[in-house]
Amino acid sequence: MKRTRADTEASHRKISRRAAVLGGVQLAFVGGLAARMNFLQVDQADQFRLLAEDNRIKDSLIPPARGEVFDRNGVQLAKNVPSYRIVVKREDIGDVDEALERLSRVVRLDPDDLERALTEMKRSAPFHPITVAENVSWEDISRVSVNAPALPGVTPEVGLSRIYPLGSNFAHVLGYVGPVSDYDLQQIEAPDQLLLIPRFQIGKVGVEAKQEDRLRGEAGVKREEVNATGRVMRELDRREGRQGADLQLTIDAGLQNYVQARLGEESASAVVMDCETGDLVAIASSPSFDPNLFVRGISVADYKGLTENTYRPLSSKSVQGAYPPGSTFKMMTALAALEEGMAQPDETVYCPGHLEVSGRRFHCWKRGGHGYVDLQNSLKQSCDVYYYDLALKVGIEKISAMAQRFGLGVRHDVPMSAISEGLTPTKDWKRRVHGQEWVIGDTVNASIGQGFMLASPLQLAVMTARIATGRDVSPRLVKSVDGVEEPSTAGENMGLNENNLRKLRSAMFDVVNDRRGTAYGSRIIAEEMRMAGKTGTSQVRNITAAERARGVISNNDLPWERRDHALFVNFAPFDKPKYAVSIVVEHGGGGSSTAAPIARDITLQALYGGEPPLDAYPSKDRGRIETQQEQLRGVRPMADLGGSDQA
Amino acid sequence: MSYLEYTVKSVPAGFRKILYLNWPLTILLASVAGIGFLMLYSVAGGSYSPWAEPQMKRFALGLVLMVMIGMVPIWFWRSISSVAYGVSVMLLIGVEFFGSIGMGAQRWIDLGFIRLQPSELMKVTLVMFLAAYYDWLPPSKKSRPFWVLIPVVVILVPTALVLRQPDLGTAILLMAAGGGLMFLAGVHWTYFAAVLAAGIGLITAVFQSRDTSWQLIKNYQFRRIDTFIDPSSDPLGAGYHITQSKIALGSGGWTGRGFMQGTQSRLNFLPEKHTDFIFTTLAEEFGFVGGLSLLVLYALIIFFCVISAVNNRDRFSSLLTLGIALNFFLFFSVNMSMVMGLAPVVGVPLPLVSYGGSAMLVLMLAFGFVQSAHIHRPR
């Protein structure tokens, strides 16, 4: 085919034109790319730089060691012990099934754990360590270590786990720790990142929960560079955390062990408070439970056993229980009347065995009556009519106000769970809560600690300590944090008439030490240790007129849950009060028969700081005490377990 | 007797031809390849193996190939262009039967010393054949329907074969390059308008075919389109490529994070970091300045090709040069659009920079034709 020069020129011009058009389009496109590059790399650079850092940097927390808890003498109550677990990395173990088979020949593996580990292994990256067994014994760990050459990719790891050496004796005080639950997270407004660590444990109840902030410490942070698959390439930065603070409690472990043992299997609680300082040296509730079970994860059967027990072992009765204080409240009624000038200690009231108030008959516990009684005699014999009379004179408002000054109806600031506020009723309260007017009968009932009146053993101990000292001493459970003493709660003088207080104490002394006192049987013989106290027997049922006509049924003939609560409060030594004690034995019968002996034994134990000499007891009790001491020695090894840490 | 033949005497002969190479173009190509070596060295964590060293060897081989092809007179290449086209089509059919599977698509023929991607070769031989066709076709006939239909068939045959592999990216590139060449040759603009309309219709059809028995493209390609439209819909799955790629680019900022300091590539957040996504590493480590420099180098390569073509009175030579330049443009612009999140993720490497033997050699072969056209241009 021939071509002419003109043809060629024409087509060349055409091509050049078209090339210019296409070149222009290309240039425009290149410009567009440059603009896009500018947008991404200049305008949005900061945002993408952040995203890139997010990609590559993984911050992980280093959990702090939880603070440990000691008693006032340094006995360890809660400690961290190394716990061993076996960890495998898929990338190192080769054939998974075969490797686990080999491992199971060395240590016993739980099939459930194993199954969970296998599913976890399938989901995660091969270099990710998977726990196949937890809480492995030291023997098993040693066996794994010895067989290490045959078990590539299997490594024993050590962590910390919480144990409570004194077990059930401190269950209600310390509580226990457990893994963070979804519920826990919901409760906290801005949860610490630490709580999100799998298997991280926090305090669930008791001191462990209430002092969580101090015990937990602060997490360290490990900043690592990871690649796209999550493998750690190198550590970029590390900030060490702060270990949790060690707590020293005011509790005396030896005494606590004794108290818990002395309460035995009764549904009872006891508080021993140092009157001078407010220190709670023992605060016990029985029956108790082993908190270590909860740390490891309690079995359904065990848990059911605890919740279905009618004696409510999970309930911390010493602070949580709210009982009608019964006659132990009489000191408050008396003091209210005395302080208001409505009564004089020596004035007498005639007790015919009952009191007629606005058409209703209120009985004294003694059908025949006590005759003419003054403060001293009324308290000693626990005459009810005397207090009905005082209460009618002074009124409920003054009585409740006085009770509040003595720590009843007040939620004490003690780091334990479910602290009860108790109840000191007022006219306004009844109107507000029950929508009913206060009637005079309510006042009469309240005067002897019945009716609406409610108090916890802790509150009763505080009340007793305040009577003993005249100071508004408050309970203290934490003695020091990391060796730094907590503020004193010894309190100030309450500004009460010292003469009235002295009369009251003297009456309480007679309760125990006068032959006609209700707690004479539980007196202390040792001169310098003698105690003053008050019995209480609070009804949990109404005694109907018909019942009364038939004759009140004795407690022993009633089903357990309808029997009276037995209460006792005391302080000792009388001359220089050191300890205030309160005891409540649920449905225990009478305060003098059931509660007072326990209180006396505990008081002596506290005062002597160990096993008291037999001659401190009344001679007729010594035989019984001797066998009791014998028995209690048998249940002491728990204390020895704690003691061995000091050695 | 063509126009060329009576000007042959003024064409340089023997090894003197080397002096007449398009040197600016050669230097630009070497510069871009040099950037490629640097990036491959970087993504390997500061090591010549496994990518930088083979790439350098291939580039050296490619450079020799380019010069050798450049020294062969352009009319020889014109005379074998139909054979080259035919062979390429045969090879494409060949991968249907002997191809290896890579990345879910059948693309390679293993020739022993090199794994050849016939679709790469096809991009060059297609423009070569079309250039020869329009060189042969009298200009007066070029817009007649019959003479337009022939190149359309020539384009669609390999496109269809490539689409079967399936390699949507290359198919689009083939159509764009072929169409571009027809445009350069001077085919009347109404045809392009018609094709554009038809193209829009086809895209609609492709989307309509989704989840039907006559589905035209593979599901993964649909998913890529989906994530292109909304990458955030699947940040760890299909959208991962684009999201991570944009993060890498963006985090580079003005001047980048420094050579071998790109965390996105070094820590494997970037997929295909040594092949299709290598630009992200460059942009991350050298920033906007680095990325723009490469873009300018690419634009200059196109520019020098266009200059060479416009100054060449031989129709085959200028069409071929422009066609190869267009191919080259399509290569890098599609790749860059892809990594910048402007286009779906289709497997198109960054020319001369991405690791890959057959792409590199085919590209150098193509530039050999450009050199040949330049050296043997009528004077």
Give the rounded distance of the alpha carbon of A195 from its chain centre.
20
- What is the model's pLDDT at position B255? 83
CB contact (8 A) between residue A33 and residue B2 = no
CB contact (8 A) between residue B1 and residue A2 = yes
Where residue A179 sits, what CATH number does that domain have?
A: 3.90.1310.10
Beta strands in A344-477 (DSSP E): 349-351, 354-357, 360-363, 371-373
- What is the model's pLDDT at position A469? 95
The arithmetic mean of pLDDT across residues A148-171, rounded, is 86
CB contact (8 A) between residue A49 and residue B253 = yes
Instruction: For residue A30, list chain B residues with Cβ-Cβ distance below 8 A.
Output: 295, 298-299, 333
Angle (deg, nearest 10), helices A253-263 and A622-634 = 110
Catalytic residues of A: 327
**How far is it, in rounded angstroms, from Cα B199 to Cα B173?**
14
Q: Which of A382-396, A441-455, A606-620 has the lowest mean pLDDT?
A: A606-620
The arithmetic mean of pLDDT across residues B252-271, rounded, is 78
Identify the band that residue B219 occupies on the pLDDT scale cut at 50, 70 and 90.
Answer: confident
**How far is it, in rounded angstroms, from Cα A324 to Cα A269?**
14
C-alpha distance from B345 to closest chain A C-alpha (Å): 16
Residue A237: phi and psi, rounded to 5, are -160, 155
> Would the pLDDT of A644 be above 60?
no
**How far is it, in rounded angstroms, from Cα B217 to Cα B199?**
15
Interface probe for A, chosen from B135, B247, B261, B301 (most Cβ of A below 10 Å), is B247
Could you tell me if residue A70 is inside a domain? yes
Instruction: Report long-range pairs for A640-645 (Cβ below 8 Å, ≥24 apart).
Output: A641/A165, A641/A166, A642/A71, A642/A75, A642/A76, A642/A77, A642/A165, A642/A166, A642/A253, A642/A257, A643/A75, A645/A75, A645/A76, A645/A79, A645/A165
**How far is it, in rounded angstroms, from Cα A115 to Cα B305?**
66
Average pLDDT, chain B: 84
At A646, the amino acid letter reads Q
Could you tell me if residue A168 is inside a domain? yes
Q: What share of chain B is helix, strand, coil (3-state, %, to 5)?
A: 70, 5, 25
* DSSP symbol at A329: G
Instruction: For residue B263, list chain A residues with Cβ-Cβ distance below 8 A.
Output: 52-53, 55-56, 225
> Would the pLDDT of B164 be above 50?
yes
Considering only CB atoms, A8 lies closest to which of B267, B284, B315, namely B315
C-alpha closest to that of B55 among B286, B63, B325: B63
Instruction: Report long-range pairs for A153-156 (Cβ below 8 Å, ≥24 apart).
Output: A153/A88, A153/A89, A153/A90, A153/A91, A153/A92, A153/A93, A153/A94, A153/A99, A154/A86, A154/A87, A154/A88, A154/A93, A154/A99, A154/A103, A155/A86, A155/A87, A155/A88, A155/A89, A155/A129, A156/A84, A156/A85, A156/A86, A156/A87
pLDDT in tens, B28-85: 999 999 999 999 998 888 888 888 899 999 999 999 999 999 999 998 999 999 999 9
The arithmetic mean of pLDDT across residues A149-156, rounded, is 81
C-alpha distance from B93 to closest chain A C-alpha (Å): 32
Burial class (CB in 10 A: 0-12, 13-18, 19+), A550: exposed
Q: Which of A116-120, A311-315, A363-367 has the lowest mean pLDDT?
A: A116-120
Instruction: For residue B283, list chain A residues with Cβ-Cβ distance below 8 A.
Output: 37, 41
Total structural domains in chain A?
1
Q: Which of A572-576, B258-262, B265-269 has the lowest mean pLDDT?
A: B265-269
A vs B, Cβ pairs < 8 A, gives 147
C-alpha distance from B286 to closest chain A C-alpha (Å): 11
> Would the pLDDT of B367 be above 90?
yes
> Would the pLDDT of A640 be above 50?
no
* DSSP symbol at A350: E
> Would the pLDDT of A376 be above 70?
yes
Tokens 């000693």 belong to A380
Both tokens assigned to A116: 């969970």
Bigger pLDDT: A224 or A518?
A518
Query: Could you tell me which chain B residue has the CA closest to the CA of A233?
Result: B267
**How far is it, in rounded angstroms, from Cα A178 to Cα A66?**
12
Calculated CA dihedral for residues A129, A135, A141, A143, nearest 10 degrees: -110
Both tokens assigned to A395: 């009124």
> Would the pLDDT of B368 be above 50?
yes
C-alpha distance from B44 to closest chain A C-alpha (Å): 14
**How far is it, in rounded angstroms, from Cα B76 to Cα B164?**
32
Range of the domain at A216: 60-249
The arithmetic mean of pLDDT across residues B289-301, rounded, is 94
CB contact (8 A) between residue B288 and residue A27 = no
Query: Could you tell me which chain B residue has the CA closest to the CA of A20?
Result: B306
CB of A319 within 8 A of CB of A416?
A: yes
pLDDT in tens, A581-634: 999 999 988 888 899 999 999 999 999 988 889 888 988 888 888 888 888 776
* CA distances in angstroms from B179 to A412, A632, B83, listed in the order given: 90, 103, 21
Instruction: For residue A227, list chain B residues with Cβ-Cβ distance below 8 A.
Output: 267-269
C-alpha distance from B94 to closest chain A C-alpha (Å): 34
B residues 123-152 lying closer than 8 A (beta carbon) to A: 136, 138-139
pLDDT in tens, A185-210: 887 777 777 777 777 888 999 999 99
> Would the pLDDT of A363 be above 80?
yes
> Would the pLDDT of B111 be above 80?
no
- What is the model's pLDDT at position B227? 64
Query: Could you tell me which chain B residue has the CA closest to the CA of A232?
Result: B267
C-alpha distance from A238 to closest chain B C-alpha (Å): 20
Interface probe for A, chosen from B267, B318, B332 (most Cβ of A below 10 Å), is B267
Instruction: For residue B313, list chain A residues with Cβ-Cβ distance below 8 A.
Output: 8, 12
Range of the domain at B114: 5-375
> Would the pLDDT of A646 be above 60?
no
**How far is it, in rounded angstroms, from Cα B177 to Cα B151?**
12
With a CB cutoff of 8 Å and minimum separation 6, the contacts of B43 are B51, B265, B266, B273, B274, B278, B281
CB contact (8 A) between residue A51 and residue B310 = no
User: Hey, is the C-beta of B283 within 8 angstroms of any chain A C-beta?
Assistant: yes
Both tokens assigned to A29: 């496109």
Please state, as a whole number, how many other Cβ atoms lie within 10 Å of the Cβ of residue A451.
18
B residues 230-249 lying closer than 8 A (beta carbon) to A: 244, 246-249
- What is the model's pLDDT at position A153? 80
- What is the model's pLDDT at position A647? 30
Considering only CB atoms, A40 lies closest to which of B136, B249, B298, namely B249
CB contact (8 A) between residue A33 and residue B247 = no
- What is the model's pLDDT at position B10? 67
- What is the model's pLDDT at position A406? 95
The arithmetic mean of pLDDT across residues B131-141, rounded, is 89
CB contact (8 A) between residue B310 and residue A16 = yes
- What is the model's pLDDT at position A579? 96
Tokens 């001797």 belong to A626
Instruction: For residue B244, list chain A residues with Cβ-Cβ distance below 8 A.
Output: 55
User: Hey, is the C-beta of B373 within 8 angstroms of any chain A C-beta?
Assistant: no
The arithmetic mean of pLDDT across residues B15-20, rounded, is 83
Instruction: For residue B297, list chain A residues with Cβ-Cβ distance below 8 A.
Output: none
The arithmetic mean of pLDDT across residues A287-302, rounded, is 88
Q: Which of A80-94, A601-615, B63-77, B107-121 has the lowest mean pLDDT?
A: B107-121
CB contact (8 A) between residue B3 and residue A47 = no
Total structural domains in chain B?
1
> Would the pLDDT of B317 be above 70?
yes
**How far is it, in rounded angstroms, from Cα A291 to Cα A303?**
11
C-alpha distance from A89 to closest chain B C-alpha (Å): 21
Could you tell me if residue A597 is inside a domain? no
> Would the pLDDT of B96 be above 90?
no
Instruction: For residue A13, list chain B residues with Cβ-Cβ distance below 8 A.
Output: none
Interface probe for A, chosen from B130, B236, B249 (most Cβ of A below 10 Å), is B249
Q: Considering the entire predicted model, what is its pTM?
A: 0.66
> Would the pLDDT of A635 be above 50?
yes
**How far is it, in rounded angstroms, from Cα A316 to Cα A168?**
12
CB contact (8 A) between residue A227 and residue B269 = yes
**How far is it, in rounded angstroms, from Cα A282 to Cα A469?**
19
CB of A257 within 8 A of CB of A283?
A: no
- What is the model's pLDDT at position A374? 93
pLDDT in tens, A22-61: 999 999 999 999 999 888 888 888 888 888 777 777 777 7
Average pLDDT, chain A: 87
CB contact (8 A) between residue A228 and residue B268 = yes
Q: Which of A339-353, A362-376, A468-482, B332-346 has the lowest mean pLDDT?
A: B332-346
Q: What is the DSSP string of A53-119?
A: HHHHEEEEEEPPPPPPEE-TTS-EEEEEEEEEEEEEEHHHHSSHHHHHHHHHHHS---HHHHHHHHH
Identify the band that residue B302 occupies on the pLDDT scale cut at 50, 70 and 90.
Answer: very high
C-alpha distance from B197 to closest chain A C-alpha (Å): 19
Instruction: For residue B3, list chain A residues with Cβ-Cβ distance below 8 A.
Output: 3, 5, 8
What ipTM was estimated for this complex? 0.87
Instruction: For residue A22, list chain B residues with Cβ-Cβ distance below 8 A.
Output: 180, 183-184, 322, 326
Q: Which of A210-219, B131-140, B212-221, B232-241 has the lowest mean pLDDT?
A: B232-241
Query: Could you tell me which chain B residue has the CA closest to the CA of A5?
Result: B3
The listed range with the strongest mean pLDDT (A209-213, A220-224, A587-591) is A209-213
Considering only CB atoms, A26 lies closest to which of B3, B139, B302, namely B302
Instruction: For residue A18, list chain B residues with Cβ-Cβ distance below 8 A.
Output: 183-186
Query: Could you tell me which chain B residue has the CA closest to the CA of A49?
Result: B251
User: Hey, is the C-beta of B300 within 8 angstroms of any chain A C-beta?
Assistant: no
**How far is it, in rounded angstroms, from Cα A504 to Cα A467?**
8
Considering only CB atoms, B295 lies closest to which of A30, A42, A45, namely A30
**How far is it, in rounded angstroms, from Cα A173 to Cα A158?**
29
Please state, as a whole number, how many other Cβ atoms lie within 10 Å of the Cβ of residue A195.
18
C-alpha distance from B245 to closest chain A C-alpha (Å): 10
User: Hey, is the C-beta of B183 within 8 angstroms of any chain A C-beta?
Assistant: yes
